[in-house]
Amino acid sequence: KRSVALPFRAPETPSKLKNMLEESDVLVESFRPGVLEKLFEVQSADELLDSFPRLVIARVNGYGSLHKAPGHDINFMAASGVLGMMSRPEPLPAQFADIAGGSWPAALQIVAALFERERLSSTRVDRKTQRLIEVNI
């Protein structure tokens, strides 16, 4: 696992990010819809998958790729009814909805996609839909 800090608007950022994808297995992003494409200067995530055939992309966001609004843990808890079931609605010590509705499902789907990628590595069938994961909290 590596982390890197790059200036978002710097002109060299897209090429640096694409260079890192050459050696990457998974790209996890939680931006609003359209930000990943803007950051990598591509039209769609499919374009990244075409350029990097071993890459698995996991998109974890609040309301799905068609909704531009940001999401927050407390909003997800309210929308799901969990907040109303609490005797005293107050912030929890952890991001409950983000973990239960986003992180865990994303992690399981990433593992499944990596397993499937390795299992099918000897075939020429492109299973792009199994390499693009979208988890909506």
72 is catalytic: yes
**Residue spans of alpha helices (H) in the chain:** 13-21, 35-40, 45-51, 73-80, 82-85, 96-97, 104-119
Cβ(136)–Cβ(61) under 8 Å?
yes
Catalytic residue among 50, 73, 98, 126: 98
Q: How many other CB atoms are found less than 10 A from the CB of residue 11?
A: 8
Could you say which of 25, 46, 67, 72 is catalytic?
72
Does residue 67 have an active-site annotation?
Answer: no
- Residues identified as active-site: 72, 98
